[in-house]
Amino acid sequence: QVQLVESGGGLVQPGGSLTLSCPASGRTWSQYSMAWFRQAPGKEREGVAALRSSDGNRYYADSVKGRFTISRDNAKNTLYLQMNNLKPEDTGVYYCAARAGRMIVSGLRSPSSYEYWGQGTQVTVSS
């Protein structure tokens, strides 16, 4: 069982930066593939960035490439999402997700691939 708790969300102006954190419980956390998803009002949950445990393969949504960076610190059992040059369309609730076991590359961006979810943290980009 893995418990995830996101933090770091807030209100930021366009062009600003935020770093989201997701500490996780679990003794084999380093073996979990991890991801960040977001959901805007009235829209489906979408994959933002993901990191496969087996080989470090990373996925980024086209809309965030070059602006967001996903990383993990296995010593701290924590997943991060560094978000730079934020835009109003980045607004939404951001969720941390985890999956144990095998993960195919195409599954990294799919919500149905993940077993464990945090409660979400709100990110609002507005002037």
DSSP 24: B
Q: Which phi and psi angles does 6 have, rounded to 5°? A: -80, 150
What tens-digit pLDDT sequence spans the chain (127 residues)? 789 999 999 999 999 999 999 999 876 778 899 999 999 999 999 999 999 998 889 999 999 999 999 999 988 999 999 999 999 999 999 999 999 988 888 899 999 999 999 999 999 999 9
Find, among 69, 52, 75, the residue nearest to 18 by Cα: 69
Helix (H) or strand (E) holding 96: strand 92-100
The predicted pLDDT at position 2 comes to 86
Max alpha carbon distance in the chain (Å)? Answer: 42
